A = this chain, B = another copy of it.
Amino acid sequence: MKKLKRSGRLVDMTNFMLQNPHKLISLTHFSERYQSAKSSISEDLAIIKEIFEGQSIGSLLTIPGASGGVKYIPMVNKKEAEKIISSLCTTLAVSDRILPGGYLYMMDILGSPKLMNEVGRLFAGFFANHKIDAIMTVATKGIPIAYAVGHYLDVPVSIVRRDHRVTEGSMVSINYVSGSSKRIQTMSLARRSLEAGANVLIIDDFMKAGGTVRGMMDLLEEFQANVIGIGVLVESEEAEERLVDDYISIARLDKVDVKGKEISVEPGNFIRLLKTELKEDVYESSTNE
């Protein structure tokens, strides 16, 4: 492309970084793209790094050496995460989403690409320092969250199906017991959609007793894949005994009072666990307002 001044480079590089999270980009790539000296590129990157980290967009990792370069890693600090999560809890607590049977209508939240991206950024930031090869979710409602996480971690998404109208070639199926309804059910994943030995992050929208997540874990064993983590948007406290222990939740549904039309929602364990995941400086880094 034609030679650009610093101002133009900053705009183009910012866009390029945001479109390519977790990708190592060599300084040579940029210096050739803009026909500029690597020294100027490094100065550009220092400016971008300062803004990205100051605004809790993410951190810019610079790897020195011939094989080195720069990598944009989506991140959230404590303050930013708390802001997103508390506004989500407020939205979740709106009483008119109570459905017969104490279910909650959530498509207004799950149907918003903007909200899904925020949730995706939370999980991607949380697992930024883990080696993850793929996201796994189960159709249907987990899919939007899974793709948002997959985008920010730059990894593919594997979609587990519960129906049988499937045209994905040979499938691996397992039976599982839905923890809440105690019914035996089947879930399947296309053989080709996940490599053996992959490191997988399980994502879902809602977890009650955890039967579905448990099923996905069993399914992953069939692929000799490893569960790196489990992230759910909402966990329900009603479950007397969980089939899954080690998971991250954005929000916790304490009680749904169908008669009194009241929903009590609290932040999940995300913030508490984030502290143990992130380096102190990233965790506490203050977002400029």
Contacts and interface: CB of A to CB of B under 8 A. Distances in A.
Contacts of A92: none
A11 B8 contact: no
Contacts of A103: 167
Interface in A134-178: 139-140, 143-144, 147-148, 150-151, 154, 156-159, 161-163, 165, 167-169
B107 A193 contact: yes
Interface in A1-45: 1-2, 4, 6-8, 10-12, 14-15, 18-19
Contact of A143 (B19, B57, B144): B144
B6 A192 contact: no
A55 interface: yes
Contacts of A288: 1-2
User: Which label, helix, strand, loop or mixed, suits the secondary structure of the A interface?
Assistant: helix
A223 interface: no
Contacts of A54: 1
Interface stretch (A75-83, A113-121, A229-237, A275-283): A113-121
Interface of A: 1-2, 4, 6-8, 10-12, 14-15, 18-19, 47-48, 50-52, 54-55, 57, 99-101, 103, 105, 107-108, 111-114, 116-117, 139-140, 143-144, 147-148, 150-151, 154, 156-159, 161-163, 165, 167-169, 190, 192-193, 288-289
Given A10-B14, A105-B168, A108-B193, 15 more contacts: A1-B54, A1-B55, A8-B50, A11-B47, A11-B51, A15-B51, A15-B55, A18-B18, A105-B190, A107-B193, A108-B192, A113-B151, A113-B156, A117-B151, A140-B140
